[in-house]
Amino acid sequence: MEGTAPLAQTSTMIDLSLIDWLILLIFIGFIVGMGFYLKKFTRNDEDFFLAGRRNSMWVAGIAFMSANMGAMEVIGYAGNAMKYGIHCAHFYLIGAIPAMVFLGVFMMPFYYSGRIKSIPGYLKERFDEKTRVLNAFIFSIMMVLVSGISLYLLAMIMEAMLGWPWHVSVWVAAALVALYVSMAGLISAIFTEVVQFFLIWAGILILPVLGFIEISPAEVWQGLENISWGHVHLWASTGDPGLNPMQMTWMGMIFGMGMTIAFGYWTTDFLIIQRAFSARDLRSARMTPIIGTYFKMLLGLVVVSIGIITLVLMQDEGTGMRALLTNAAGEIQYDKALPIMMSRYFPAGMIGLGITAIVAMLMAGQAGNMSAFTAVWTYDIYHAVFKKDATPPQLLRMGRKATIAGLGLAVAGAYIARSMPTVIDYLQAIASMVLAPGVAIILLGMFWKRLTPDGAFWGMLIGCLASFGMFMMQQLNIVEPAFFTPVDGAGFMAANFWRGLWAWMIAGGLGILISFFTTPRSDEELRGLVWSLTERKREEGLVWYRTVGFWATVTMVLFFIINILLW
């Protein structure tokens, strides 16, 4: 399997015209200016951390999806589609849709109805303070690492496309995000995400169209089949991991990616769920992830198409794509797929729009990361541990200070990201260490009232430590990635899924075992926090085609149709 050298170490350049520069600079100035303007709407801590809970389901839904549509999503998965072919679509299907529907239908009533301000806040109510602080601390570390990926990508793009030094780009990006997010918090982040949402579609939607004009869909499909049979099938090649480029079996795909990492991300990652928290009522909050499923499937079509077109074009020496995507050591640089396709098809003006879309992705991603980080740090660590009597103005000031500090730590995270194989490989590794153990405890806690605070705390802690230990053994070359999988010769990505599954089982198993020897909380304390002790409210006064259940069903029907068509 080819390695992926950091793009930031290349010297690839794209000359920008005056109009390209104007588009980019106008966007940056507009976003920073809006941060100052929105500050006047940020009067208290709820405005800063939850946008005042004033958003409609469409605004919340777009922000929910936009928080996921960062540069690591679009650039990273375009590169992964080039690396894995149609198999990359799993990240948009089994790796997203069931978990998003589950969040809207089953979990959002727990999260939203009690006006809980964060996921650790739910854990405090369901279990105890120590479980809340543990989860908040783990989540804060994850946000710093994920923010580091975003900063790394922005520096990579600036050096490769604009010629700016990588180290300078990291600090410039951090300063810009700090400037406007510290002004208005989640309001700034959501505004940027809504703007970014439309810029992304304007900047990348045309790319696969232009690609399919140059090389027809039939030719792309044939080109993938010529590379390998496994590149064109979602499930048919997963019976034997040797037949698919991801080296995954169907069991690892369903349980490792789908049940463990995907549910961990979509149902417990506060970065995403915070957008639903900003909705104005429970129905809007429940519809937020359901609306997001349709954009997620469309985004998958666009991003995967970009990657597989790039892969097929690279096989033809006459296109010159191989030279552009290969470094001096002969290694394929998968994360260059999107910018190289932009440079191939976009004229002056469109290049500026494309770069602006990438910068918007990075800035919105960083804004989302930091708004989630500051909310969890301020409410669930600072307020819970260090200053329990903090007033709303003090919480607001701490949130702004935490934004600056978090971005400083994210710069250090960028240097870690720079040393990893690809951003998506690294992102899934982080998820296996942080999200997988957490979702095991949260789901058990929501649907099994016997899970005790001690069971939750020790299950989550040991599950995270076990997954981190397995990852470090792999990184230090003590064992091969395949050591944790039932597949000989499995690579980095397959190891992520299986490591996540092991962490999920360790956390859940220990949580159950310890709960049988410790005291659970009473039914009265758990009312409204556990499924069996929560009153389910019917959506009164709504026609059937406006209910959450109807749109969730439509989503799942589309999900199964796509999986069958790409079988």
Nearest Cα to Cα of residue 191 among 42, 295, 398: 42
Lowest mean pLDDT among 119-128, 189-198, 256-265, 410-419: 189-198
Nearest Cα to Cα of residue 485 among 136, 249, 307, 142: 249
In this structure, the number of other CB atoms found within 10 A of the CB of residue 266 comes to 29
Using the predicted structure, report yes or no on whether residue 499 has a pLDDT greater than 70.
Answer: yes
Cβ atoms of 85 and 226 within 8 Å: the answer is no
In terms of residue numbers, what domain contains 223? 7-31+67-565
Distance between CA atoms of 120 and 380, rounded to whole angstroms? 7
Of residues 437 and 403, more confidence is placed in 437
Any alpha helices (H) in 69-216, and if so which ranges?
A: 71-84, 97-102, 108-113, 119-126, 129-157, 166-184, 186-204, 206-214
Sorted by sequence, the CB contacts under 8 Å of residue 176 that are 6+ apart come out as 28, 31, 32, 363
Nearest Cα to Cα of residue 156 among 26, 405, 148, 427: 148
Q: What is the mean pLDDT of residues 186-202?
A: 63
Using the predicted structure, report yes or no on whether residue 540 has a pLDDT greater than 80.
Answer: no
Distance between CA atoms of 150 and 357, rounded to whole angstroms? 14
* pLDDT number for residue 49: 46
Of residues 295 and 61, more confidence is placed in 295
Q: What is the mean pLDDT of residues 9-22?
A: 61
Report pLDDT digits (tens) over 266-301: 887 766 776 676 677 778 888 888 988 998 898 889
Using the predicted structure, report yes or no on whether residue 376 has a pLDDT greater than 70.
Answer: yes
Q: Which two tokens stand for residue 491?
A: 């690579």
* pLDDT number for residue 295: 86
The total number of structural domains that make up the chain: 1
* pLDDT number for residue 50: 47
Q: Is residue 237 classed exposed, middle or buried when 0-12, 13-18 and 19+ CB atoms within 10 A define those classes?
A: buried
Helix (H, G, I), strand (E, B) or coil at 328: coil
* pLDDT number for residue 521: 92
Distance between CA atoms of 70 and 435, rounded to whole angstroms? 19
Cβ atoms of 128 and 453 within 8 Å: the answer is yes
- CATH code assigned at 377: 1.20.1730.10
pLDDT tier at 517 (50, 70, 90 boundaries)?
A: very high
Return the bridge partners of 104, or none.
none
* pLDDT number for residue 132: 87
DSSP states of 400-462 = HHHHHHHHHHHHHHHHHHHTSS-HHHHHHHHHHHHHHHHHHHHHHHHH-TT--HHHHHHHHHH
Instruction: Report the C-alpha dihedral over residues 343, 346, 347, 349, rounded to 10 degrees.
Output: -100
Q: Is residue 41 part of a domain?
A: no
In this structure, the number of other CB atoms found within 10 A of the CB of residue 37 comes to 14
* pLDDT number for residue 444: 93
- pTM summary value: 0.77
Of residues 233 and 24, more confidence is placed in 233
Of all residues in the chain, the percent with pLDDT exceeding 70 is 77
pLDDT tier at 425 (50, 70, 90 boundaries)?
A: confident
* pLDDT number for residue 193: 61
Q: Is residue 39 part of a domain?
A: no
Q: Is residue 171 classed exposed, middle or buried when 0-12, 13-18 and 19+ CB atoms within 10 A define those classes?
A: middle
* pLDDT number for residue 458: 96
Q: Is residue 173 part of a domain?
A: yes
Q: Is residue 79 classed exposed, middle or buried when 0-12, 13-18 and 19+ CB atoms within 10 A define those classes?
A: buried
* pLDDT number for residue 185: 47
Using the predicted structure, report yes or no on whether residue 468 has a pLDDT greater than 80.
Answer: yes
Using the predicted structure, report yes or no on whether residue 163 has a pLDDT greater than 50.
Answer: yes
* pLDDT number for residue 239: 80
Q: Is residue 57 part of a domain?
A: no
Cβ atoms of 140 and 380 within 8 Å: the answer is no
How big is the chain, counted in residues? 567
Q: Is residue 328 part of a domain?
A: yes
Q: Is residue 469 part of a domain?
A: yes
* pLDDT number for residue 558: 95
Residue 445 C-alpha from the chain's centroid:
24
Q: What is the mean pLDDT of residues 336-346?
A: 82
Of residues 519 and 157, more confidence is placed in 519
* pLDDT number for residue 518: 95
Q: Is residue 187 classed exposed, middle or buried when 0-12, 13-18 and 19+ CB atoms within 10 A define those classes?
A: buried
